[in-house]
Amino acid sequence: MTSPHAGKLISKMGKAAQVILSRKEGKIKFASAHDFRRAFGTRWSTRVMPPVLQQLMRHESIDTTLRYYVEQEAEATAEILYSVVEGNYLGNTSPNVTKKETSSPS
């Protein structure tokens, strides 16, 4: 089976199984072989170093791997870090609380 033939077959299966990825401008996007490829790359990007992922994804250039997978992970990590320290301006490791929150009930 050729690669293009396999891709078309997977796209037909995604449509037959009604695996909907998005709906834009009235057009439905069903799962395809490329969606599986992207999911594979995204999952492995958190488990292996970029040069290993480059080989797994068969990218000719490490820049492609870095742009599509590592950069996304860096953005996700930054969001997690910022959500943890949100409102904690003094640099301490515990959440900022007011006297009212720490006082015991009367």
- In a 10 Å sphere around its CB, with 0-12 CB exposed, 13-18 middle and 19+ buried, how is residue 54 labelled? buried
- Structural domain contains residue 72: yes
pTM: 0.59
Model pLDDT for residues 29-68, shown as the tens digit of each residue = 999 999 999 999 999 998 999 999 999 999 999 999 999 8
- Structural domain contains residue 25: no
- Structural domain contains residue 41: yes
- Structural domain contains residue 65: yes
Tally of structural domains, the chain: 1
Task: Give the domain extent around 73.
Answer: 33-85
- Structural domain contains residue 19: no
- Structural domain contains residue 43: yes
